[in-house]
A and B are shown apart, each in its own frame.
Chain A
Amino acid sequence: MAEKRSFVLDRFLKKAAPFMSLLLMVVLLTLLSPYFLTLDNLTAIALQMSVVAIMAIGQMLVIISAGIDLAAGSVMAFSGVVAALMMSQGFGIWPAIIAGLLAGLACGLFSGVLIAKGHLPPFIATLGMMGIGRGLALLLTGGKAVFGLPQSFSILGGGRIADLAPGWIDRLAGGVPIPVLFTIVLAVVFHLLLTRLPFGRHIYAIGSNPAAAKLSGIQVPQNLIKIYALNGLLCGFAGIVSASRLSTGQPTAGTGAELDVIAACVIGGASLSGGEGTILGAMIGALIMGVLRNGCNLLDIPDFWQRIAIGIIIIAAVFSDQYRKHQNKKI
């Protein structure tokens, strides 16, 4: 009985720990800075984190399958640049967005095929893709930022719901930035995909034990390709949102973003050995990093300290997780 309770408690702690950390940070920052708990500031945090959060959804799928994607930031830049170039060449917004998404999808498919069919470790395949993606972005633009995007394109990254939908939605949630709306919708869709569809269960099975997954009739290679393709698509979308927010196509956008994305997943409770993690966790992880950065600005903490703080949070998150697992084994 006692053992069972400790198991239930442990499950609860594991699920709730990232959320409790976030809540604690929010309470502390509210006490420390009068500017933290304001609508403008909270909106700004959500907006700042939306690009990382969108990529964290894809990365979470990959990490649950016991993989990793180091190419997220590069693919994001590549897709953003493809979309921006199309627009600056006079193609419409929609064809440009579709081209950008396809660029991301193609990168994801490429990594996925290398991993599933070529049996490359995900670390290596995506490390290669990271260089290729960044190189393509620089090559296509000649290293220059792409200007002259149409004004209406900036709604995607810089607009609010009020710009799109008049009427009752406007009054209810008109101030919500559009990238945040996208993030929420995508998080819900992928949460349902992971928890309600067979594909979702297959991802967990592949991550926990690929051999057993294969024996139970799961098509491991096809599923892996699907996972990396979806991840590439999400990175492509993040790239388009980012290009819209910066109102330019920047070939150097998202340099190092993959590390933020992986950190968000890990802080949110994902295990790099696979089989564990939730979309909600990734979102909370992204928010923790966003709140931390914002808090450092509100409290005037110098940038160098900010980096140390984020490093400590990542280590603390994984450490507490490992500690609990270790304790369990002893019982």
Chain B
Amino acid sequence: MKRIALLFLLLAVLWLGCVQTTDQVQILVSPKGLVHSFWLTVKAGAEQAGKEEGARVIWKGPALETDIATQISILEDYINKKVDAIVLAACDANALIPTIEKADAAGIPVIIIDSGVNSDVPKSLVATDNILAAQKGADALAGLIGEKGKVALIPFVPGAGTSVMREEGFKQGLAKYPKIELVAVQYSQSEVERAMSVTENILTAHQDLSGIFAANEAGTIGCAQAVKSRGMAGKIKLVGFDASPNEVQALQEGVVDALIVQNPYQMGYQGVKAALAVLNGQKVEPVIDTGVTVVTRDNLETPAIQQLLASMNE
């Protein structure tokens, strides 16, 4: 009986926690993770767009980027719940396709943000041009190391669309510099601990390394920690991706030398706007590039950069 009483209590509490509105347009925004500040900024942008348009934004995603099955379950539940539109950052470029097709068949338009899928069902892709962004990363790193030497690359999840494109873009970017050699590619799995340990392995294996490009937030933080704890800060040039408070601090400390900063706020904002446009029968661009900015210690204090960073960390 205790158990039943407890269950009652629990469900009553949970019920109080949920808002009951039915006539508002409901948009599910499903990120790849919940805890990184990148996703919190996407959320802020999505909620702002929802507020402006009077739509309700529901924020649900798996806690870990590798938990594809949970993201599929969430989408299925909300398709059954008949949300009006879905804005999705896909955990996997292939595994989500059947679910996206199911949503489309149920008349629910899907807008992809940040991480694309290998399907043309989604109405629009609102994202950083990751190939272009990683090319800028290669240029920044090349500039820092005098266009010669050995470098390493730390992408995040093998097979994930964004990771693959940044890997490709970085390699394409390096092709312009014949004196730079890419000696190691190791994956961080978007975990800070993993990024630390792979960086340590790379540093051990390549004593004469000049620079590292870490392709996302967790990778950059872990890589910076490893470089710092080895006392190699400043000696190894480090170009990171995104601009969480941790990363900006590492930039100020001189551990990280440049950050390729995306605009996650715009992804959330324009993703929801695009979804609403589709619902209103308007035409949306198949690809919307939200752009990147290279942030260094030299331009960190300029008003434009400060404004960009503030929009991300509010």
Nearest residue (CB) in B for A49 is: B73
* Contact between A317 and B3, CB atoms less than 8 A apart: yes
Which secondary structure dominates where chain A touches chain B?
helix
Q: A40-B80, A294-B77, A320-B3 known; A143 and B60 CB under 8 Å?
A: no
Asked whether any CB of chain B lies closer than 8 Å to the CB of A21, the reply is: yes
* Contact between B7 and A313, CB atoms less than 8 A apart: yes
Q: Across the interface, which residues of A come within 8 angstroms of B1, CB to CB?
A: 320
Indicate with 1 or 0, residue by residue over A133-149, a CB within 8 angstroms of chain B CB atoms.
00000000111110100
B-side interface residues, number (CB < 8 Å): 43
Min Cβ gap A261→B in Å is: 14
11 pairs across A/B with beta carbons < 8 Å?
A28-B8, A44-B76, A47-B76, A145-B92, A247-B98, A250-B66, A295-B14, A297-B74, A303-B60, A316-B7, A319-B3
Cα(A312)–Cα(B13), bound, Å: 12
Cα(A4)–Cα(B235), bound, Å: 79
Considering the complex, which residues of chain A in the window 306-330 have a beta carbon less than 8 Å from any beta carbon of chain B? 309, 312-313, 316-317, 319-320, 323
Q: Kindly identify which residue among B66, B73, B81 contacts A252, using a CB–CB cutoff of 8 Å.
A: B66
Q: A246-B68, A319-B2 known; A24 and B7 CB under 8 Å?
A: yes
Q: Across the interface, which residues of A come within 8 angstroms of B77, CB to CB?
A: 41, 44, 294, 297-298
Indicate with 1 or 0, residue by residue over B6-26, a CB within 8 angstroms of chain A CB atoms.
111011001101110000000
Q: Across the interface, which residues of B come within 8 angstroms of A320, CB to CB?
A: 1-3, 6
Inter-chain pairs besides A20-B4, A44-B76, 7 sampled, C-beta below 8 Å: A32-B11, A33-B81, A41-B81, A250-B68, A250-B92, A297-B81, A316-B6
* Contact between B81 and A35, CB atoms less than 8 A apart: yes
* Contact between B92 and A246, CB atoms less than 8 A apart: yes
Cα(A255)–Cα(B67), bound, Å: 8
Considering the complex, which residues of chain A in the window 211-259 have a beta carbon less than 8 Å from any beta carbon of chain B? 242, 245-248, 250, 252-253, 255
* Contact between A145 and B69, CB atoms less than 8 A apart: no
Cα(A304)–Cα(B15), bound, Å: 15
Asked whether any CB of chain A lies closer than 8 Å to the CB of B158, the reply is: yes
Q: Which 9 A-B pairs have the closest CB atoms?
A: A144-B158, A297-B77, A145-B159, A252-B66, A320-B3, A246-B95, A41-B80, A316-B6, A299-B18
Nearest residue (CB) in A for B96 is: A246
* Contact between A255 and B64, CB atoms less than 8 A apart: yes
Q: Across the interface, which residues of B come within 8 angstroms of A142, CB to CB?
A: 158
Cα(A319)–Cα(B3), bound, Å: 8
Seen from chain B, the residues whose Cβ lies within 8 Å of a Cβ on chain A are: 1-4, 6-8, 10-11, 14-15, 17-19, 34, 58-61, 63-64, 66-69, 72-74, 76-78, 80-82, 92, 94-95, 97-98, 158-159, 187, 189
Q: Kindly identify which residue among A21, A252, A296 contacts B4, using a CB–CB cutoff of 8 Å.
A: A21
Q: Across the interface, which residues of A come within 8 angstroms of B189, CB to CB?
A: 143, 252
Nearest residue (CB) in A for B118 is: A147
Cα(A14)–Cα(B255), bound, Å: 60
Cα(A68)–Cα(B14), bound, Å: 32
* Contact between B95 and A21, CB atoms less than 8 A apart: no
Cα(A144)–Cα(B94), bound, Å: 13
Nearest residue (CB) in B for A48 is: B73
Nearest residue (CB) in B for A246 is: B95
* Contact between B11 and A323, CB atoms less than 8 A apart: no
Cα(A252)–Cα(B70), bound, Å: 13
* Contact between B69 and A301, CB atoms less than 8 A apart: no
Cα(A245)–Cα(B102), bound, Å: 14
For chain A, which range describes its interface: under 10, 10 to 19, 20 to 34, or 35 or more residues? 35 or more
Cα(A247)–Cα(B98), bound, Å: 9
Q: Across the interface, which residues of B come within 8 angstroms of A319, CB to CB?
A: 2-3
* Contact between B81 and A298, CB atoms less than 8 A apart: yes
Asked whether any CB of chain B lies closer than 8 Å to the CB of A293, the reply is: yes
Q: Across the interface, which residues of B come within 8 angstroms of A255, CB to CB?
A: 64, 66-67
Q: Kindly identify which residue among A158, A302, A313 contacts B59, using a CB–CB cutoff of 8 Å.
A: A302
Q: A143-B187, A252-B189, A253-B69 known; A296 and B95 CB under 8 Å?
A: no
Q: Across the interface, which residues of B come within 8 angstroms of A298, CB to CB?
A: 77, 80-81
Cα(A264)–Cα(B4), bound, Å: 17
Nearest residue (CB) in A for B98 is: A158
Cα(A1)–Cα(B192), bound, Å: 63
Q: Across the interface, which residues of B come within 8 angstroms of A40, CB to CB?
A: 80
Cα(A44)–Cα(B72), bound, Å: 10
Cα(A143)–Cα(B95), bound, Å: 16
Min Cβ gap B202→A in Å is: 15
Q: Across the interface, which residues of B come within 8 angstroms of A141, CB to CB?
A: 158
Asked whether any CB of chain B lies closer than 8 Å to the CB of A168, the reply is: no
* Contact between A312 and B61, CB atoms less than 8 A apart: no
